[in-house]
Structure 1
Amino acid sequence: MRISAAQRTENENRIRAAMDRLLRGEIPAGGKCDIKTLASEAAVDRTAFYGARPYAHLRVEFERRLNALREAGDIPDPRQAQITRLKTENAKLKERLAQSEQTIDDLTDFRTQSLARLAAQHEEILRLREAGSETSRITRLPASRSAAKVIGSCS
């Protein structure tokens, strides 16, 4: 079905108005900043934007303006901006989690090594005490109460 020049001009005006709304971020519920939503907002068949159809030049203009906004860092589709923000946040959180896990592994290793060293030192102290008690020339001093508490808490 052919349309008159007046109808075509009216459709182009509706398309340009819908294009401006979408690029300002006025995205309808369930829509995106894309040709499908542009066609539905302008009440024009979507196929009219492709190939040698009458509104292909408007599709090119829409995509050019959309790409210019994206390059400038302005994303008109709030959902797309949210997706981008959440992906960035997710990547940062994954990095923090990996760092936390590495820190936990390092501290666990340190704790294990420290406990092993303390146990070895304790065994050495007990061995030296035992060796010292066998020699009759060494007089053992009585342990103070605070020292006994410290030694008892290390066991």
Structure 2
Amino acid sequence: MRITAVQRAENENRIRAAIDRLLRGEIPPGGRCDIKTLAREAGVDRTAFYGTRPYAHLRVEFERRVQVLQQAGEIPDPREAQITRLKAENAKLRERLAKSEQTIDELTDFRTQALARLAAQHEEIVHLRATAAETASVTRLPGARTTVIGTCN
């Protein structure tokens, strides 16, 4: 069915108004900032935006304006902005997790080395005590004296 020039102009006006709403971030529930939602909001068949159909130039304009906003760092679709934010947060958390795992590995290695050194030192002390006990020329020093300091009243 053919549409009149007046109907086409009205459709184009509705499409342009819907484009402006979507690019301002006024996304309807269950919608996105895309051609499907644009067609639904304007009350136009989605196929009219493709190929040589009457509103293909408006699809090109809409996609260009969306791309300009995205390049400027503005994302009109709140869900897309949330997805972008969550992806960045996810990457940051993965980086923190990798650093934490590296730190844990380093500390585990350090702990293992420290325990090995302590065990070796303990063995050396036990060996030296045994050697000292066998040798009569080693004189043991008396234990440390503890003195109590009195208080004067």
**Cα displacement (A) at 1:144:** 4.2
- What is the alpha-carbon distance in structure 2 between the residues aligned to residue 142 and residue 108 of structure 1? 41
Structure 2 residue identity aligned to 1:141: L
* TM alignment of 1:1-80, pairs within 5 A: 1-80=1-80
Q: Indicate the SS of the match to 1:51.
A: coil
Aligned residue number for residue 93 of structure 1: 93
Q: Structure 1 residues 111 and 142 mapped into 2: Cα distance closer, same or farther (>3 Å)?
A: farther
Q: What CA deviation, in whole Å up to 9, does each residue of 1:51-86 have, x standing for no partner?
A: 111101100100111110011110000000110110
**Cα displacement (A) at 1:141:** 2.3
Structure with a larger share of its residues in helix = 1
**Cα displacement (A) at 1:145:** 8.8
Q: Indicate the SS of the match to 1:100.
A: helix
Q: How many residues align?
A: 146
- What is the alpha-carbon distance in structure 2 between the residues aligned to residue 71 and residue 125 of structure 1? 70
- What is the alpha-carbon distance in structure 2 between the residues aligned to residue 91 and residue 145 of structure 1? 63
**Cα displacement (A) at 1:94:** 0.5
**Cα displacement (A) at 1:126:** 1.0
Q: Indicate the SS of the match to 2:32.
A: coil
- What is the alpha-carbon distance in structure 2 between the residues aligned to residue 83 and residue 117 of structure 1? 51
Aligned residue number for residue 104 of structure 2: 104
Moved over 3 A (4+): 142-146
Structure 2 residue identity aligned to 1:136: A
